[in-house]
A and B are shown apart, each in its own frame.
Chain A
């Protein structure tokens, strides 16, 4: 999807600061996230990755600066979806969790979901279950699934509204390698489908495998933003080089 066709992209941060409990979680961030390959946020704990994603989703409002979506100050939340690090599953089956997301999208007036009938809704649930490889688990209680499976349900729920932008907060943080690979493959498929993926991760390998461009945050400040290849091959800042060398970035 190109920026011109999107009601969300580019997402622009202009001198954005966010303060929580007298701590500057993000400090004067200016950045432009455009359509294209996945954007990956990296940085040590407490660098502000989650806050960055929440601001990009419109879940938080900055104390200073401005976030714009396609040059507009109103967050087009119906065109975006968020997958949390520890997704919350409703106390119902996997299929009903996805149905809930579909209905929430329809109630929110999302054009893609507006015309859904019961049959089309069920067909879409089957389609989403197949996409995330959980066809066999549709009738299982969502809370009884493993962490990796729940993450895939959360992905299916997020994709139910056919978002233009998908944000994910460390989606593979607590997953084993096999589950991580499934989620990464899914994200590649989603990105190939034209959905802009923005995710945070601690895993440099994952960042290298998925990212089109990399954002490095440290102590709430933007250290680097550039293409994945230039970031990994020729980091500009000393801190980025230290981080890439696997040393502690204090």
Chain B
């Protein structure tokens, strides 16, 4: 049974570590970028929004391949020695999730700004304070954006298998393990791993939903 296999715990732990780290990094970078794009007028803004939106659908294998070329020994970032490490997997997932969080944040903050613009302008609220206010007001919507990013990260296989290498006990995640076991014909194990992955994703979403609901109740 896969549920009592200690090796499985390593796989689950690594999966969560990689995906949660990537989502955290992507949120730290993507939320300010999204807010800035929403609230700033600059040349090329419309084009940047189109690019951000398009990058939400970036094929993971394409990103994995690009990162592979960059991180391989002969590549420009080969000196970092990151290829086939969890760090490379975090980098790949961060880049995959970043456009999702930035785009959804941009849209959310833009919508909130339409609602709050008059009032904040009339109160003569400074630009920095406006950004902070909108981020706080939109926190529960932004949590949904982060969850969407987590969903993309934890279910992703194409990029992490290329830059991680699916090394047993080191860079093997749940999704790469499912891919491997399926190719080996161990369908029972693959199905169990898949079920476990889905249960974890559902649990994390339920937890986030509970946090969101409690927060909304407290905040009105």
State the A residues within 8 Å of B (CB): 57, 59, 77-78, 81-82, 84, 87-88, 90-93, 100-101, 104-105, 107-108, 141-144, 157, 161
Contacts and interface: CB of A to CB of B under 8 A. Distances in A.
Nearest to A59: B121
Name which of A77, A91, A101, A143 has the most chain B CB atoms within 10 A of its CB: A91
B44 to A, nearest CB: 25
B183 interface: no
A161 B219 CA distance: 24
B126 A88 contact: no
Contacts of B125: 104, 107-108
B218 to A, nearest CB: 9
Contacts of B118: 59, 82, 84, 88
B21 interface: no
A78 B124 CA distance: 7
Given A84-B118, A88-B116, A107-B129, A142 B220 contact: yes
Contact of A77 (B124, B219, B220): B124
Given A90-B137, A142-B220, A143-B220, A82 B124 contact: no
B122 A59 contact: yes
23 contacts: A57-B122, A77-B122, A77-B124, A82-B122, A84-B119, A84-B122, A87-B119, A88-B115, A88-B116, A88-B119, A90-B133, A90-B137, A91-B220, A93-B220, A101-B123, A104-B123, A104-B124, A104-B125, A104-B129, A108-B126, A143-B220, A144-B220, A157-B123
A91 B219 contact: yes
Name which of B115, B116, B118, B137 has the most chain A CB atoms within 10 A of its CB: B118
B135 to A, nearest CB: 12
Nearest to A103: B129
Interface string B101-138: 00000000000000110110111111001000100010
Contacts of B115: 88
A90 B132 CA distance: 13
A135 B129 CA distance: 28
A191 B92 CA distance: 62
Given A81-B123, A91-B137, A104-B123, 8 more contacts: A57-B122, A88-B115, A91-B219, A100-B133, A107-B125, A107-B129, A108-B125, A142-B220
